[in-house]
Structure 1
Amino acid sequence: MKNPEIFEKTYNDYWKKLNAFSYTMTQDKDLAQNIVQEVFIDLWERKDDLTINAIEPYLFRAVKNQVFKHYQNNKFDKTILEDKFEDYIIDNFSSIDPELMDLLHSLLDKLPEKRKEVLLMYKFQDMSIDQIAEELGISKQTVKNQISSALKQLREGLKDLAWLAPIVFFKQNF
């Protein structure tokens, strides 16, 4: 990272993703941008001392830590942020680290078969709740319950790994 061109490429490659991630946690556009800026300033200032094996997880972890630090300094209950972070679990599915992908697959395999099927239809086939209910011959409420239960179960399995950002993002928006 000592090379200014590499730093600039890293900045350009990750600024948008990190800003979106920071905003997800803070819900404050200016604060989110300031946090990401702080992370990049810190990265540049410590470039001679850092050894980074994987830049993407490092940057996301740094943003998460800066968000927590900001709220700790402002006497904010960080459990709210940890919940939002745990929610950050299936948006960038294709860019997931292979080890995390293996973990996600093992967690999915632990889901009851019907719950797994409903979740996969909803998240990976982009089917609506109505479409899933119709295809499986079950009520819309059952579909919602299955999705909610599956997400809760996956969040529990990922709780201990919250520091391994970025992982996929499960948003419950139905």
Structure 2
Amino acid sequence: MKNPENFEKIYLLYWEKLTAFSFNMTQDMDVAQNIVQDVFIDLWERRHKLEITAIESYLYRAAKNQVFKYYQNNRFDKTIIEDKFEDYIVDNFTTIDPEVMEKIYAMIENLPEKRKEILLMHKMQDMTIDQIAIELSLSKQTVKNQISSALKHLRFELKDVSWMASLLVISYKFLR
């Protein structure tokens, strides 16, 4: 890989895949392309020092690390990852560790009755805020506030398993 021809082959083989991978994590094509560019620049600059046995694993790990570094440096809006985590939980109830699911169910059960009802309508029945507001004769802002409060409460309660959120989001991306 120390010669330009090998580097070019690797670049052509992985550029598009890594960009798609990074885009899935960032939801921003410009950021994804910049991240992949940084990965390849770093690879080229360190080519004489690196001993890589599995280039594909190395590149994906480097891209993932660059995404996290980007988010850390830019104090990103965590709602993207939180939303992906919520989507993962909703879409994969049957495949999540039973212990984690038991904790989530218990947390939902402990929500105030109206808040729980609104959250379940929104996340489980896939109802829009407008639909919920009409059905329950509430303002849209009240529905938004209840959903936000419920999710904030669940996130707080799940903090001891928050390390799992990143893992689940990344797993979710590969499973889609």
TM bucket by the smaller chain? 0.5 to 0.7
- How well do the aligned residues superpose, as a CA RMSD in angstroms? 4.2
Closer/same/farther in 2, CA of residues 132 and 18 from structure 1, 3 Å limit:
same
Aligned to 2:5: none
Aligned to 1:113: 113
Partner of 1:94: 91
* CA distance 1:70–1:137, change in 2 (3 Å): closer
* Cα distance in 2 between the residues matched to 1:81 and 1:22: 13
Q: Is the 1:85–1:162 Cα contact (8 Å) retained in structure 2? A: no
For residue 159 of structure 1, what is the aligned residue in structure 2?
159
So what's the TM-score if we normalise by structure 2? Answer: 0.55
- CA distance change for structure 1 residues 17 and 134 in 2, over 3 Å: closer, same or farther? farther
1:25 is displaced (CA, Å) by 8.8
| In 1: Cα distance, 2:23 partner to 2:76 partner | 18
Q: 3-state SS of the aligned residue for 1:162?
A: helix
Contact 2:132 2:143 in 1 (8 A): yes
| Contact kept? 2:121, 2:127, Cα under 8 Å | yes
Equivalent residue of 2:85, what SS? coil
Map of 2:81 onto structure 1:
85
- Distance of 1:102 and 1:27 partners within structure 2: 39
Aligned partner of 1:157: which letter?
E
Could you tell me how far apart the structure 2 residues matched to 1:31 and 1:154 are? 34
Segment of structure 1 superposing worse, 81-90 or 115-124: 81-90
Work out which of the two has the higher radius of gyration on C-alpha atoms and give 1 or 2.
Answer: 2
Q: Deviations along 1:23-63, whole A, 9 cap, x unmatched?
A: 1499722246579999xx57746xxxxxxxxxxxxx9x997
Question: Is the CA contact (8 Å cut-off) linking 2:22 and 2:64 kept in structure 1?
Answer: no
Partner of 1:29: 32
Q: Distance in 2 between matches of 1:140 and 1:63?
A: 40
Please give the per-residue CA displacement for 1:138-169, whole angstroms capped at 9, x wherever unaligned.
Answer: 222211111111111112122332321215xx
Cα offset, 1:118, TM superposition: 0.3
- Contact 1:22 1:63 (C-alpha < 8 Å) held by counterparts: no
Q: Which runs of 5+ in 1 are unaligned?
A: 1-14, 46-58, 168-174
Say whether the 8 Å CA contact 2:122–2:132 is kept in structure 1.
yes
Match of 2:159, SS state, is: helix
Q: Aligned with 1:138: secondary structure?
A: coil
Count of residues in Structure 1 that have an aligned counterpart in Structure 2: 137
Matches within 5 A, 1:144-155: 144-155=144-155
1:133 aligns with 2:133: yes
